[in-house]
Structure 1
Amino acid sequence: MSDLAVLASTAVAIVATVVLIVRFHVNPVISLILGSLGLGLMTRLGFGKTVETITKGFGDIMADVGLLIAFGVLTGSMLKELGAIERLVDRLLRVFGPERLPYSMALTIATLLQSIYLDVLLVISAPLARSASRQIGPLGTPRMAAAMAIGLECGIVLMVPGVGTLALAALLHVPLGTMLLWGLLLIIPTVVFSVAIMTFLFRRGFWNTAADEIVAVEEAGAAVAEVMEKEQAAPVGVGATQTAAPARPVTPAPGGAPVDGPGPAARPRAAEHGPSLLVSFGPLIVALLMIASGAIAQAANVRNTVMAFFSNPVVALLVGLIGTLVVTRHFTGRGGVEKAISSGFKESGQILILTAVGGSLAAVVAAGGLGDILRGYFTAGTFLPLVVVWLVAAVLHVAVGSVTISAITAAGILAPVAPALGIDPVLIALAAGAGSLFCVHVTSNTFWLLQSLLGQTTRGALKTTTVAVSVASVVAILLLLPISLLF
C-alpha cells in the first residue's frame, strides 16, 4: 500500500470518528471502535488482523493502566466521602490568604487531587471556590475560575495519576516514576505562569463583570443536581471532557445550599469531625513518593528487588488505596466505605472503557504503517518533533473536544517515530499532553460545569476556560523545549 494511501486512510478514519462524535452525537466508545475498524480495513491490516489489532490494543493498555485507574478513582472517591476537599480549600485560604488562593488551589488540584474523578472534583470544589472568590475582590470570580480550569485540565494529562497521564505513559512505555517526576517539573511552572498571565490580563481589562459574570447568582443545590443528572445520564467522556455539550448553559438558581451534592452540608460528620489533612492525604502522598523513589533509584542505577517491588505503581497505589480505606472506615464507618467504593466503581467504568478504546485506535494507527511513513519526514532533532506532537494533539482536541482522546491518539500516531529520533518517550508524552489542552471549548463538559457553578456567562467561560487553558497549553510546550535539553 502506498504512503499516500495510508495517510489518506488515516485522515479519513480520524475525520469520520470526529464527525460521528461531534455531528451525530454517537457515543465516543462506538465512534472510536468504528473508526478503528474502518482504518484497519482501509490499510495493510485488511480483514485478517483488524479485529485482532483492536482487541490487542484494548488489552495492552488495560494491562498497563487498568488497575492504576481503578485504584486511583477508588482512592479519590474515599477522599470525597471524607470531606477532605472542603477542609483542604479552607486550609489553603487560611494559610496563603485570598490573594494567593488561585495559585495555591490550582497547584493543589493539578498535583495532588488527580485521583478524584474530574467532574466530581469540580462539583465539590466549585462552590467553595465561588465562596472564596468574594474574599479576593472584584476579580475573584475570573481568577478562581481560570485557576480551577488550568489546574483541573493540566493535571489530567501531565500528572500521575491523572487518567490521561496514565494512558500516555502506557502507550509510550514511559515508567510512571519518570512520568511523575518530569510531569511535576513541568506542571508546577506551567500552572504558576498561566495563572499569573491570566491575572495580568484580567487586571488589564480582559474581564467585564457586567457581561462576563452572573453577579447575583449564588451556588445552589438545583444546579449541582442538574449537572450531576446530566453526568449520570450521559456515559460519555473521560476526565476532562464530554463530547456533547449541554443543550443550554446551566444557571444556578439563587439561594439555598446543596441538597444532595457533595458540599459541606452533605457530609457534616466528615467535614466537621473528619481526620486531619495529613491523615486524609497521607496514604496518597506515600504512594506517590513510592512511585517516585523507583525513578530516582533507576536514575542512580540502584538495583534492589525490594525497592523495585514497592515502587511498582500497582503496589504503590494499592498501598495508598488501603491506607485511605482504613482512614475512611475509621471516620465514616462501614457504610461510608461501601458508598465510596460503589461510587468509585461507577465512575471508573466509563474511564476504563474509553481509555482502552483510545488505545485500540492508537494500535491500529501504528499497525497501519503511519509511524513508518512519518519517520521519513522527521530528522533526528528535538525541538521540531516536539512542536509537531503538540500541534497534532492540539488539532485533534479542537476537532474531538476530548483532552484524553486527543492526547492518546496523538501519542499513538507519533510513538513509532520516537526511536528513530532519539527522543526520550517522556518528552513525547508531555508534548502530547500539553497539546491536548489547547482550546477547551463548548464541546467540553468541564466548560459548562465551570460556567454554571462559578456564575459566569458563556462569554466569561470562554475567557476563563478556553483562553486560560490554551495559555497553559502554550506555556507548557514553551517550557518543555528547554527542559528537553536536559535529556
Structure 2
Amino acid sequence: MTTPFLIFIVISAVALLLFMVLKLKISAFISLLITAIYVGIIAGMPLKDVTKAIQDGMAGTLGFVATVVGLGAIFGQMLESSGGAESLAHYLIKKFGTDKASWAMVITGFIIAIPVFLDVGFIILVPIIYALSRDTKRSLLYYGIPLLAGLAVTHSFIPPTPGPVAVADIINVQLGWVIFFGVILGFPTAVIAGPIWGKYIAKKIHLPPPADFEVSKEKTYDENNLPSFRMIALIIAIPLVLILVNTFTGLAVKKEFIGQSIYTDALEFIGHPFCALIIATLIATYFLCLKRGINKQKVLELSTKALGPAGIIILITGAGGVLKQILVDSGIGKIMAEGMANSALPPILLAWLLAAVVRVTQGSATVAMITAAGIIAPVLSEFGLSDPHRALVVLSIASGATLLSHVNDSGFWLVGKYFGMNEKQTLQSWTVMESIIAVCGLTFTMLASLFF
C-alpha cells in the first residue's frame, strides 16, 4: 500500500463521513459505521473480515465506555436534581465577593461539568449570571464567559464526562492519567479563556440581562434548601480521588516502590472507574436525593432520564471503536505509524489537527473527538507511548475538538439565545473563547509532553 494511496484512504474516509453527516443528514452513528466499512473494503479486506472487525470493534469499546458513561450520567443527574450546581455557585460567589465573581464562576463551571453535561450546567446556572449582571451593571459576558470556559474545559478534558472517557478507551489509556493532566492543564486553560478573555470582551460587547427571560427548566429541588457546598464538593471528588488512587497505586506496584498485596489489590479494585462511579452514584443518590425527600420512584425516573442522552454518545463511541478496529485489521494503522515515524509532526499535533478539521467542518465535538481517536489509535499502538503521553494525546484531541464553534454547533445557538446575542456577537465572544481553549490546550499538552 503506497503512501499516496494511504493518504487518499484517510482523506476520502473523513470526506465521506462529513458528506453523510452534513449533506445527507445521516446520524453520526450510522455514518461512522459506513465510513469504517468503506475503509475496510477500499483497503482490500475480505468482506467477512470487515463484518468481524465491526463486531470486535463495537464489543471491545462498549464494554468499558457504556458502563462509565452510563454511571456518570446517573451520577450527574442526581447532582443536578438536588440543586448542587446552584449551591456551589452561591457559595463561591459569597466567598469571592461580587468584584471577583468571574473567578467564582470559572471555578463553578470547572467543578460542575465533571458530572453534569455542559448545556445542562449552563441552563441551570444562567439565572445567577443574570442576577450578577443586574447587580453590578456589567455585561453578561463578564460572568458568562468564565462560567462557559469552566464548563467547556472540564466537559472536554476531565472524565467521567463522555468525550474524554470515549477517547481514553479508544486510545487505551487509564482514566487516572487523563484526570490528572486534565485538571493540571485544564484549569489554567479555563482561566485564560474565562476571566481573562471575559474581562476583555465584556468591555467590547455590553449585554444587559434580559428583563423577563424565563429559563425553561423544571426544578426538582427547593431553592431555599440547597445541599451544602462541602457535601457537593466531597461527592464530586469521590470518584476522581478513587480513580487517581487506582492509577498511582498500580504505578507504584509496577515500579516496585511498594509490593503487591491484598491492600494494593483492594485499592485498585475500589479505584477502578466502575467501582468508583458506582460508589459515588450510590452516595449521591442517598445523600442528595433520598435523604433530602426525593422519593424512590422519582429517583428511578431521574436515573432512566439520564440514560437517554448517554445512550446516543455510547453508540457513537462504539462506531468510533469500529473505525479503529478496521484500521488495525486492515494494516493501515501500522503503515501510518511507519510513515509518521519519519514525519516532523508529533502524534499530539497530528491528533489535534484531525479533531480540529472534523470539528470545524461538522460542528459536533463528540464526533470530532471519536473520529480523531479512531484514526490515531492504531498509530499510537506502534509508537509504544507511555500512559502519561497517551493521556496528553487524549487532551490534544479534546482541545482540537473545541476549535471554532460556529453556526453548525448547537452550543453556538444555545449561548447566543440565552445571552441575547446576534451571530456576530456570538462569534466574537463564544467562538473566540472556544478557540482559546483549543490553542491553549494544544500548547500546554505540547509543553507537558517534553517532561513525560
Instruction: Tell me the equivalent position of 2:327.
Output: 365
The answer to which structure, 1 or 2, has the higher relative contact order (CA under 8 A, 6+ apart) is: 1
Match of 1:418 among 374, 377, 380: 380
Q: For structure 1, which segment, 314-323 or 114-123, has the greater mean C-alpha deviation from structure 2 after superposition? A: 114-123
Assess if the C-alpha contact under 8 Å between 1:6 and 1:369 holds in 2: no
Instruction: Tell me the equivalent position of 1:296.
Output: 248
Per the TM alignment, residue 380 of structure 1 is displaced from its structure 2 partner at its CA by 7.8
1:330 aligned onto 2:283: no
Instruction: Tell me the equivalent position of 1:308.
Output: 268
1:219 aligned onto 2:219: no
Q: For structure 1, which segment, 3-12 or 347-356, has the greater mean C-alpha deviation from structure 2 after superposition? A: 3-12
Instruction: Tell me the equivalent position of 2:411.
Output: 446
Task: Tell me, in whole angstroms, the C-alpha distance in 2 between the residues paired with 1:345 and 1:468.
Answer: 30
Instruction: Tell me the equivalent position of 2:279.
Output: 319
Per the TM alignment, residue 45 of structure 1 is displaced from its structure 2 partner at its CA by 2.2
Per the TM alignment, residue 126 of structure 1 is displaced from its structure 2 partner at its CA by 2.2
Task: Tell me, in whole angstroms, the C-alpha distance in 2 between the residues paired with 1:114 and 1:397.
Answer: 22
Per the TM alignment, residue 151 of structure 1 is displaced from its structure 2 partner at its CA by 2.2
Task: Tell me, in whole angstroms, the C-alpha distance in 2 between the residues paired with 1:375 and 1:386.
Answer: 13
Instruction: Tell me the equivalent position of 2:8.
Output: 8
Match of 2:235 among 283, 288, 291: 283
Gaps of 5+ in 2: none
Per the TM alignment, residue 191 of structure 1 is displaced from its structure 2 partner at its CA by 0.7
Q: Aligned to 1:452, what secondary structure does the other structure show?
A: helix
Assess if the C-alpha contact under 8 Å between 2:112 and 2:151 holds in 1: no
Task: Tell me, in whole angstroms, the C-alpha distance in 2 between the residues paired with 1:148 and 1:191.
Answer: 9
Per the TM alignment, residue 312 of structure 1 is displaced from its structure 2 partner at its CA by 0.8
Instruction: Tell me the equivalent position of 2:165.
Output: 166
Assess if the C-alpha contact under 8 Å between 2:122 and 2:148 holds in 1: no
1:350 aligned onto 2:330: no
Gaps of 5+ in 1: 225-260
Instruction: Tell me the equivalent position of 1:375.
Output: 337
Instruction: Tell me the equivalent position of 2:131.
Output: 131
User: What whole-Å deviation, never above 9, does each CA across 1:444-480 have from its counterpart, x for those lacking one?
Assistant: 1111111111222222211222110101110111111
Instruction: Tell me the equivalent position of 1:42.
Output: 42
In structure 2, the CA distance between the partners of 1:438 and 1:86, relative to structure 1 (3 Å rule), is same
In structure 2, the CA distance between the partners of 1:190 and 1:394, relative to structure 1 (3 Å rule), is same
Return the letter of the residue paired with 2:302: A
Q: Aligned to 1:300, what secondary structure does the other structure show?
A: helix
Per the TM alignment, residue 284 of structure 1 is displaced from its structure 2 partner at its CA by 3.0
Per the TM alignment, residue 349 of structure 1 is displaced from its structure 2 partner at its CA by 1.8
Task: Tell me, in whole angstroms, the C-alpha distance in 1 between the residues paired with 2:322 and 2:380.
Answer: 19
Assess if the C-alpha contact under 8 Å between 1:411 and 1:428 holds in 2: no
Assess if the C-alpha contact under 8 Å between 2:147 and 2:194 holds in 1: no
Q: Aligned to 2:224, what secondary structure does the other structure show?
A: helix
Instruction: Tell me the equivalent position of 1:252.
Output: none
Per the TM alignment, residue 178 of structure 1 is displaced from its structure 2 partner at its CA by 1.4
Count of aligned pairs: 439
Task: Tell me, in whole angstroms, the C-alpha distance in 1 between the residues paired with 2:381 and 2:323.
Answer: 21
Per the TM alignment, residue 281 of structure 1 is displaced from its structure 2 partner at its CA by 4.5
1:479 aligned onto 2:431: no
Task: Tell me, in whole angstroms, the C-alpha distance in 2 between the residues paired with 1:8 and 1:29.
Answer: 23
Q: Which runs of 4+ in 1 moved over 6 A?
A: 380-383
Per the TM alignment, residue 23 of structure 1 is displaced from its structure 2 partner at its CA by 2.0
Instruction: Tell me the equivalent position of 1:183.
Output: 182
Assess if the C-alpha contact under 8 Å between 1:390 and 1:431 holds in 2: yes
Assess if the C-alpha contact under 8 Å between 2:57 and 2:324 holds in 1: yes
In structure 2, the CA distance between the partners of 1:279 and 1:421, relative to structure 1 (3 Å rule), is same
Return the letter of the residue paired with 1:125: L
Task: Tell me, in whole angstroms, the C-alpha distance in 2 between the residues paired with 1:374 and 1:215.
Answer: 52
Per the TM alignment, residue 136 of structure 1 is displaced from its structure 2 partner at its CA by 4.6
Assess if the C-alpha contact under 8 Å between 1:366 and 1:412 holds in 2: no
Return the letter of the residue paired with 1:430: L
Assess if the C-alpha contact under 8 Å between 1:381 and 1:421 holds in 2: no
Assess if the C-alpha contact under 8 Å between 2:69 and 2:310 holds in 1: yes
In structure 2, the CA distance between the partners of 1:381 and 1:361, relative to structure 1 (3 Å rule), is closer
Per the TM alignment, residue 298 of structure 1 is displaced from its structure 2 partner at its CA by 3.0
Instruction: Tell me the equivalent position of 1:61.
Output: 61
